[in-house]
Structures are given as C-alpha cells and as structure tokens.
C-alpha cells in the first residue's frame, strides 16, 4: 500500500495561548495576584502552608476522582466514605490502646485499617458498577447514603473521639513536616505527581481515556474494560483512605458531619481542571490547579473584607459553571 | 424525459474552508419527478454540496435558485420550511421518543396549548402506510430496525411537505431487501413530483434508479449526463480520473496447505449454530451471506467478545479464547465493520488510536512516546494515511483514511490470522483498490485472512475459497470455479444448502 511517502507535518506550535489548557493556570495566577494585592499576609509562610494543607484532603481524593471520571464513571460516595473510614480508624485505634499501649504501633494498625476499608469500599462501588452493571451515579448515590448512615450509627449520633494520648503521638502527621513543608502537602504532592505519571505515561491511564471515550472501541482493542474500571474505583478508595489518614490527626474525631460535600468539591476540582465530565480525557495536574483555585477563593474571602465569606459557595459555583462553559466553547471550535 | 424547470439549482457554487477551496464552481439542478444521483470519491465534495443545498452551509460564491428565483438559506430550518430536506446518513432521530413523536418533532400539532395526539397519530399512520412501512407510530425509535428508521426519516420529511429530498448514502446501512423497499418508495416519491438527490458508492444502484447522474472529482463537476449515457465502468472511471483496469490483484497461489485455524461445531449465543471451517496458511477465505446471516457474530464469538461454545484449534493446538487479549496473544485479530462505533476512538488522535490494541508493545509500565511516534510515522507511509496534521482527531479523517488507520492499528499487533469485516464499506474506489492490494500482499506473505463482505465482487475477486452463511449456519464452502455470483446467491438464499462440515 505504499505510494508516495506522505509527509504529515506536526501541528504548528505557534505562540497562540490555548485557553483550554492554560485557562485554569491563568485563573490560579490571577487569584494569587489578587490575594497578594488584597492582603500582604496572603503569601506568608503560615497562610500558604495552611491553605495547601487544608486542600490536601480534597486534593488527594480529587486525583483519584480524575481517573474515575476519565474512565466515564463518577463517585458520589467519597465524602461519606472518608467519614466512615475515619470512624473505623478511630474505633480500631481506641480498641487497641489497652492491649498495644499508646505509640506508633497502634497508629500504623489504624492506618492499615484505613487503607483496607478504602480498598473494600472501592471494591464495593466498582463491583456493583462493573459486575452488576448498575450505573455509577446510582451505585455511589446509594453507598453515599450507606456510609453516611454507618458513621452516624457507629458514633451513635454523636462524635467518635480518638484517645487523647494517641492523638498527641499522631498529631505531627498533620501538623509536622520536613524542612518546613507540612506532611499533608508532601503527601498531596507525591500523590499528584504519581497520578500525573500514571495518567500520561502508563497503559492504565491510556486505557481509562479510551474507555471513557468509547467503551466498545476499548473492548475491541483488547482492553479489559471491567478490570480497568474496577481498578479506578479501588484506586480512588485507596486515596480516600490516604486522605483520611492525613485528616484524622487534624481534629482527632469523626462524626456524621465529617467530609460532608467533599465529593462535590472533588468533582468540581476535577472539572475545573479540564477533565471532561463525560469521560475520555483527564488531566491530573489540572485537577491540582482546580483544587487550589477552590481553596484559594475561600482563603481570599476570609482574609479580605471585600465580600462576605458566606458567599464562598456562590463564587465557587460561578467558577465551576464558567469552567464548563469555557470547555464547551473550545469543543465547538474544533 | 423533458427538461422540466429545476426546483432547486446551484449555479457556479464554490465553498472555502479557511484558505482552502474545496468546491470549485459547481452546478447541479434538481428537477421535479427526477432522481438525480451524485457520485464521487470520498472527499470529492458531495457532502459539501448537499449541505449547501439544504442550508447547513452557505456557499462562499455562487448562488442557489429555488423555483428560478435566487434564494439564501440562513439555516437548515429555513431550507426545511421551503421544502428542502436532507436525510443524514447517520439518522437524526431521538432514540428514546416514539416514531410519531419523532415525525412531528419541532412541529407538533396542537389544540390550544395541548398536543393534538390523536391527529398526530392518524397523520403518522397515514404517512407510514403510504410508505408501506408496518412500524407502529407508538414504537420507540430505539427498538425499530435500521431500515424502519430510514422510513421514519422519510415520513418526517414528507410531513414537512418535502419538495426536494436529499439523501446521503441511504443504502449504506440497508440490506438488499430493505434497499428494494427504499427504491420502491423513491419511485413513488418521484411519481408524486418530488425532486430527489441521491448519493451512493454503489454504482449498480445508481445505474438502476437514477434519471440523471452528476460526477464530482476533487471538488469539481467532471460529468453530468442523463441515465443510460454512462455505464458503471465509465462512472467509476470518471470518479477516479484514471482507468481502473484491475481492481483486484491476481490471486496468488496459497503458500502451502497447512491449516492454521480449525473451528468445529461453533455456537455463538443464539445466533450462530454448528459452524465448522478451516483456514489455511496464505489463504484469503471469504465469508458471504445476507446481512444478518451471523457472519460478524461468528467472528465476534471467535475473538471472545460474544459468548460462544465449540472447539477452536490454532496451529493444531486447542485454544480457549475468552477476550480480545487472548485472541491477540494467539495471533488472531479482528477488524470490525463498525469503524466509528467499535474500531476507533473518534475524539482522540491518530497516535493513541494506532497503539491502543498493541499497547503492550510500547512498554508494560511506562509508555514509550518516541516509539509510538515512530510507529505512527511508519503507519502513515506504509498505509498511505492522508491527514492534514499528525495530531488531527481521528473523527475528522475521511472514511477511507480512518479505515487505513484501523488497518494499521490491527497490523501493529503482528497477527498471523486477520479477520477483516467489510473492509471497504463506505470507501471510495481508489482507496478500495489500495486495500485489496494490501489484503493480497498480506496473504502472499504467508498470513491468513478472513474477509467478510456483502459486496459480491469483493468476495469473488479476493477469495481463494468462500464460506456462505445463512441464518446462523454455514450452508456451503465454495472453491475454484464454483466461486461465482450465482452459486453464492443460491447458498445464501437457501436454495442449495447442505450443512457443510
């Protein structure tokens, strides 16, 4: 079939800025500039650490959510799942204090428990979606209610508190760090970097995008569609577990109000970052930018007396809708 | 046939996309009661001119005349209001709505502020029975057959009082029998004074139903004749611009008689039963039969995307294949007939599509982007893929180039046995020739090829042996001089049919 050798040039790399790619970054830079302009303390070490450490929980979860959404799925249960994992983790640690004593041993068992419950929860969601073939929205809407109600039941309607002595040992996992960088920030950064590499450089990332674009094509191209889908939900479950491990030492407690609306914040961050809600295209670094945008809005409103912090949600909502509108404009151009 | 005045006419119409002119001053006139066939290779400008005539695109220069008066359609809705309707190849029907709701979509009949359901029902029934279609107005569109959908599209057009009906390859998705029904309806519409513009890659059809033929090549009109002034060969020649002497390369002798694939008593779901056949090294084995005979399902069962039972041996060893990956590992690949739905991810680029099937060749844990790029460069030259840029979305490639890319993707898996389902569906004749040449070379190099095709000429021109299927069973295996249209049709229609072993 060789005729004349067709030479096809790569697309011109001009100086034109692709807003679809750089839009979120520009928005983030604008927010940073605005924050610095409104309050000199905005760029202080304390504030930056605070903002980043608080974003870490949602951020770690949102990285996992990027894979689920890219493969054409959705997970509404992550907020409740985090609360449930936190509750189980606290109960396990409290139960082990009499036999194991207070120390890192107990905490490591607690962390292991968090990861195990995370994997299990991811498996439940994933298996119901891939094996029972129920829509992801329905499955995770159901498990969202189940996890939320389980934590309320475990806490007997109140709050589960971690043993005070254990809490003292565990505290540095949230408040400590190395070289002045807090642990949650380090973990978030690692998760994000690994996630970005997995998405762009591995067969798993490529398979997620292919499944999200067209499941049939993936199936006919020797992709194990169910296995990849399941893996995405389990990965998300593990990341929810990691996020909870970083979260528990912050307050040392879990209740029915833990992690409320985290799922929506995580989904919003993913979408703002340029991942397509219908699946087929995902960008982990975009998700990180999305998370930072959402938390900076809250931070700036708190620091500056320009707009009431109570309007935080409204401004976030506007940003989310704007992000999707920008995505769509790009699509019609193509 | 007298030259009645044209209802809709394009005069010296050109169209540019950006700096590129794709249509160069073409003329076409559609007259009442006439079927006008528009033919040309993919990319010749047929779709562009159809879109201009029906208001989806505006001409860059030149003008449209409706009943002799200049007219500008600012949208397809405006064209529809004036009775000019385009029926897309991929239908524009709301799958979840009923037939009746679709027919009146956007122009619902009302009584006061409420829908006049009764009147719409009667009207829909009237239209459908006029089209000899037995589909119920209350049937959900997702539940009806492809040919019925076509009829619903036509009914929809009629309910809008179509004076000009533009049909984009209406028979591409129809079986021969369904096409017959369509041709009867076209005759009927013609008799009632509708002007019809019709495109098709099937020249025998064109020769049969068209009153007038216009041929496009590279965005220009190269011929406009009355029916009968051109035979099929001349049409093909005008489309391609050169003589197509040997569409099919001469069959090469089979390398040896060694059986590479043996299938015995193979059942697929409730569709295929007791299929048994052998495939030899260097052989091109054709699978003929009517659409719906179970050929595609048989192959999908073989590669493990459908549940199947039966014995399969590859190179004399019993194998179990439960998914595409297993099949690939055994050197067996399947190239789907459904290019857009199952073959390629239209929203992604050529590189991602090319390497998806054989992704493990580019790294188990980390993908080697350089190697992928090199593979794309090689595929582009080897398969003569013509794309505007390397990172174009695959959905923006023409059908022929998509098919070449799909071939390249499949061959990247380095198979020994290649199953190609409808290798040239919806592809222009020049590309067809390239693909035949490729299949021929593949077999000559010692690979084994199964070709499923509904085009008789293709089956006869390519195959060493032909398996004929009917209603899920193999009714005959033909070789040598028995491979001719008459024999194949006899087995396909069940006139002759032993349960072949």
Task: Give contacts of A9 with chain B, Cβ < 8 Å.
Answer: 389-390
> Do B381 and B435 have their domain in common?
no
> Do B466 and B405 have their domain in common?
no
pLDDT tens per residue, range A279-297: 888 999 999 999 999 999 8
pLDDT value, residue A13: 45
Buried b (16+ CB within 10 A) or exposed e, B2-28: eeeebbbbbbebbbeeeeeebbbebeb
Calculate the dihedral angle through the C-alpha atoms of B315, B317, B318, B320, rounding to the nearest 10 degrees.
Answer: -70
> Do B269 and B325 have their domain in common?
yes
Percent of chain A with pLDDT over 90: 58
Map residue B225 onto helix, strand or coil: strand
pLDDT value, residue A6: 43
> Do B315 and B353 have their domain in common?
no
Q: Do A334 and B344 touch (CB under 8 A)?
A: no
Map residue B68 onto helix, strand or coil: coil
> Do B232 and B379 have their domain in common?
no
CA–centroid distance for A202 within its chain: 20
pLDDT tens per residue, range A298-319: 888 888 877 787 888 888 888 8
**Considering B387, B414, B441, which residue would you say is the last residue of a domain?**
B414
Would B410 be classed as within a structural domain? yes
Name the residue with higher pLDDT: B74 or A88. Answer: A88
Would A274 be classed as within a structural domain? yes
Q: What is chain B's Cα-based Rg? A: 24
Map residue B115 onto helix, strand or coil: strand
Task: Give contacts of A216 with chain B, Cβ < 8 Å.
Answer: 338, 341-342
d(CA A122, CA B363): 27
Q: Do B404 and A1 touch (CB under 8 A)?
A: yes
What CATH number corresponds to the domain at position A279? 1.10.3470
pLDDT value, residue A144: 96
Residue A329 has pLDDT above 60, yes or no: no
Would A24 be classed as within a structural domain? no
* ipTM of predicted complex: 0.74
At residue A168, what are phi and psi to the nearest 5 degrees? -60, -40
Would B1 be classed as within a structural domain? no
> Do B301 and B428 have their domain in common?
yes
Structure letter (DSSP) for residue B98: B
Minimum-distance CB partner of A220 among B324, B380, B387:
B324
Which residues share a beta bridge with B28?
B10
Residue A131 has pLDDT above 90, yes or no: yes
Name the residue with higher pLDDT: A135 or B249. Answer: A135
> Do B74 and B138 have their domain in common?
yes
**Which residues, including other chains, have CB under 8 Å from residue B72's CB and lie 6 or more apart?**
B58, B64
The total of other beta-carbon atoms located within 10 Å of residue B352's CB is: 20
Name the residue with higher pLDDT: A233 or A7. Answer: A233
Cross-sheet strand order for the sheet of B20-31: B20-31, B6-17, B61-66, B69-71
CA–centroid distance for A97 within its chain: 31
Q: Do B390 and A221 touch (CB under 8 A)?
A: no
Residues in chain B: 501
Which residues share a beta bridge with A161?
A253
d(CA A148, CA A80): 5
Buried b (16+ CB within 10 A) or exposed e, B391-430: eeebeebbbbbbbbbbbbbbbbbebbbbbbbbbbbbbbbb
- Would you call A20 an interface residue with chain B, using a CB distance cutoff of 8 Å? no
Q: Are A151 and A83 in contact (CB under 8 A)?
A: yes
What CATH number corresponds to the domain at position B308? 3.40.50.300
- Would you call A178 an interface residue with chain B, using a CB distance cutoff of 8 Å? no
- What residue has token string 């021109």? B461
- Would you call A185 an interface residue with chain B, using a CB distance cutoff of 8 Å? no
> Do B148 and B272 have their domain in common?
no
At residue B479, what are phi and psi to the nearest 5 degrees? -145, 165
Chain B: closest CA distance from residue A267 (Å) = 22
**Which residues, including other chains, have CB under 8 Å from residue B428's CB and lie 6 or more apart?**
B40, B41, B42, B43, B44, B201, B239, B400
Total domains present in chain A: 1
The pair of three-digit structure tokens given for residue B58, joined into one six-digit string:
């505006």
Would B185 be classed as within a structural domain? yes
**Interface test mutation site (partner B, options A9, A201, A202, A222, max chain B beta carbons within 10 A):** A222
Q: Do B389 and A280 touch (CB under 8 A)?
A: no
Which residues share a beta bridge with B226?
B212
d(CA A248, CA A245): 6
Q: Do B367 and A206 touch (CB under 8 A)?
A: yes
**Which residues, including other chains, have CB under 8 Å from residue B109's CB and lie 6 or more apart?**
B115, B116, B119, B120, B123
Domain that includes residue A161, residue range = 51-299+308-321
Q: For chain A, give the mean pLDDT.
A: 88
Q: Do B341 and A203 touch (CB under 8 A)?
A: no
Would B336 be classed as within a structural domain? no
Instruction: Report pTM.
Output: 0.76
**Which residues, including other chains, have CB under 8 Å from residue B472's CB and lie 6 or more apart?**
B271, B272, B273, B293, B294, B297
Q: Are B303 and B332 in contact (CB under 8 A)?
A: yes
Residues in chain A: 334
Structure letter (DSSP) for residue A311: G
Q: Do A216 and B386 touch (CB under 8 A)?
A: no
Q: Do B381 and A5 touch (CB under 8 A)?
A: yes
Chain B: closest CA distance from residue A194 (Å) = 12
Low-confidence ranges of chain B (pLDDT < 50): 1, 499-501
pLDDT value, residue A298: 85
Task: Give contacts of B409 with chain A, Cβ < 8 Å.
Answer: 221
**Considering B369, B392, B414, which residue would you say is the last residue of a domain?**
B414
pLDDT value, residue B239: 80
pLDDT tens per residue, range B173-204: 777 777 888 888 889 888 988 999 998 878 88
**Interface test mutation site (partner A, options B332, B356, B403, B445, max chain A beta carbons within 10 A):** B356
Would A7 be classed as within a structural domain? no
Task: Give contacts of A280 with chain B, Cβ < 8 Å.
Answer: 345, 347-348
Domain that includes residue B101, residue range = 6-240
d(CA B47, CA A75): 42
Residue A334 has pLDDT above 80, yes or no: no
Residue A16 has pLDDT above 60, yes or no: no
> Do B405 and B441 have their domain in common?
no
Map residue B66 onto helix, strand or coil: strand
d(CA B288, CA B356): 30
Cβ–Cβ pairs < 8 A, chains A and B: 109
> Do B391 and B444 have their domain in common?
no
In Å, the largest CA–CA distance within chain B is 78
Residue A213 has pLDDT above 60, yes or no: yes
Residue A11 has pLDDT above 70, yes or no: no
The pair of three-digit structure tokens given for residue A262, joined into one six-digit string:
């985290």
Total domains present in chain B: 3
Question: Residue A5's pLDDT band (boundaries 50, 70, 90)?
Answer: very low
> Do B225 and B256 have their domain in common?
no
Would A313 be classed as within a structural domain? yes
**Interface test mutation site (partner A, options B17, B305, B323, B339, max chain A beta carbons within 10 A):** B323
d(CA A74, CA A62): 11
Map residue A65 onto helix, strand or coil: helix
Burial of A140 (0-12, 13-18, 19+ CB in 10 A): buried
Q: Do B305 and A3 touch (CB under 8 A)?
A: no
**Considering B204, B225, B240, which residue would you say is the last residue of a domain?**
B240
> Do B53 and B145 have their domain in common?
yes
């Amino acid at each position: 079939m060789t005729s004349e050798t067709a030479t096809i040039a790569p697309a011109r790399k001009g100086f034109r800025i692709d807003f679809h790619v750089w839009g979120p970054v520009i928005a983030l830079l604008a927010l940073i500039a605005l924050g610095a302009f409104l309050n000199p303390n905005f760029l202080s070490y304390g504030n930056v650490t605070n903002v980043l450490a608080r974003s870490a929980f949602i951020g770690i979860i949102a990285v996992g959510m990027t894979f689920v959404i890219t493969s054409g799925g959705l997970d509404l249960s992550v907020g409740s799942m985090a609360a449930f994992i936190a509750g189980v983790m606290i109960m396990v640690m409290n139960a082990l204090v009499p036999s194991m004593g207070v120390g890192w041993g107990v905490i490591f068992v607690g962390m292991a428990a968090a990861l195990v419950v995370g994997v299990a929860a991811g498996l439940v969601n994933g298996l119901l979606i891939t094996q029972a073939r129920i829509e992801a929205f329905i499955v995770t809407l159901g498990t969202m209610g189940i996890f939320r109600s389980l934590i309320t039941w475990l806490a007997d309607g109140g709050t589960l508190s971690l043993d005070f002595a254990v809490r003292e040992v565990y505290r540095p996992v949230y408040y400590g760090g190395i070289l002045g960088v807090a642990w949650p920030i380090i973990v978030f950064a690692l998760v994000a970097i690994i996630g970005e590499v997995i998405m762009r450089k591995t067969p798993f990332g490529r398979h997620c995008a292919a499944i999200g674009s067209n499941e049939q094509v993936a199936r006919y191209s020797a992709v194990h569609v169910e296995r990849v889908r399941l893996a995405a939900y389990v990965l998300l479950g593990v990341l929810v577990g990691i996020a909870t491990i970083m979260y528990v030492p912050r307050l040392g407690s879990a209740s029915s109000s833990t992690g409320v609306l985290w799922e929506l914040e995580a989904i919003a961050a993913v979408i703002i970052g340029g991942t397509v809600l219908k699946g087929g295209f995902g960008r982990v670094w975009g998700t990180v930018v999305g998370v930072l945008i959402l938390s900076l809005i809250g931070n700036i409103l708190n620091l500056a007396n320009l707009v009431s912090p109570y309007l935080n949600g409204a401004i976030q909502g506007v940003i989310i809708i704007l992000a999707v509108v920008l995505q769509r404009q790009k699509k019609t151009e193509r | 046939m007298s030259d009645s005045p044209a209802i809709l006419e394009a005069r010296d119409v050109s169209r540019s996309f950006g700096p590129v002119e794709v249509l160069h001053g073409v003329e076409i006139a559609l007259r009442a009661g006439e079927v006008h066939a528009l033919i040309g290779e993919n990319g010749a400008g047929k779709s562009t001119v159809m879109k201009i005539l029906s208001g989806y695109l505006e001409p860059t220069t030149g003008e449209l005349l409706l009943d002799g008066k200049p007219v500008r359609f600012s949208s397809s809705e405006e064209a529809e209001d004036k009775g000019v309707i385009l029926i897309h190849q991929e239908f524009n029907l709301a799958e979840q709505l009923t037939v009746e709701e679709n027919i009146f979509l956007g122009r619902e009949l009302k009584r006061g502020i409420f829908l006049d359901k009764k009147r719409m029902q009667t009207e829909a029934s009237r239209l459908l029975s006029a089209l000899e279609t037995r589909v119920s107005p209350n049937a959900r569109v997702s539940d009806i057959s492809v040919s019925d959908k076509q009829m619903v599209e036509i009914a929809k057009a009629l309910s809008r009082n179509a004076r000009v009906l533009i049909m984009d390859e209406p028979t591409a998705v129809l079986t021969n029998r369904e096409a017959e029904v369509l041709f009867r309806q076209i005759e009927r519409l013609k008799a009632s004074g509708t002007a019809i513009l019709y495109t098709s890659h099937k020249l025998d059809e064109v020769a049969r139903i068209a009153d007038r033929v216009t041929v496009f090549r590279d965005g220009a009109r190269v011929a406009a004749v009355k029916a009968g002034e051109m035979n099929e060969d001349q049409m093909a020649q005008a489309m391609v611009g050169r003589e197509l002497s040997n569409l099919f390369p001469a069959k090469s002798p089979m390398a040896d008689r060694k059986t590479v694939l043996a299938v015995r008593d193979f059942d697929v779901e409730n569709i295929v039963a007791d299929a048994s056949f052998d495939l030899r090294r260097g052989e091109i084995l054709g699978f003929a039969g009517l659409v719906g005979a179970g050929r595609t399902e048989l192959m999908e069962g073989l590669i493990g995307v459908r549940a199947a039972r039966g014995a399969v041996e590859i190179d004399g060893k019993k194998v179990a294949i439960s998914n595409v990956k297993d099949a690939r590992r055994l050197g067996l690949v399947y190239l789907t007939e459904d290019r857009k739905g199952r073959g390629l991810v239209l929203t992604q680029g050529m590189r991602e599509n090319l390497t998806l099937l054989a992704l493990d060749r580019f790294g188990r844990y980390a993908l080697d982007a350089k190697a992928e790029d090199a593979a794309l460069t090689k595929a582009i030259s080897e398969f003569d893929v013509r794309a505007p840029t390397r990172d174009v979305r695959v959905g923006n490639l023409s059908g022929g180039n998509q098919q070449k890319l799909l071939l390249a993707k499949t061959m990247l898996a380095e198979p020994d046995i290649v199953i190609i389902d409808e290798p040239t569906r919806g592809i222009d004749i020049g590309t067809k020739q390239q693909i035949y040449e490729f299949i021929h070379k593949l077999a000559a190099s010692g690979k084994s090829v199964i070709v499923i095709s509904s085009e008789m000429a293709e089956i006869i021109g390519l195959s060493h042996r032909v398996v004929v299927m009917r209603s899920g069973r193999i009714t005959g295996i033909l070789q040598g001089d028995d491979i001719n249209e008459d024999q194949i049709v006899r087995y396909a229609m069940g006139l002759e049919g032993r349960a072949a072993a």
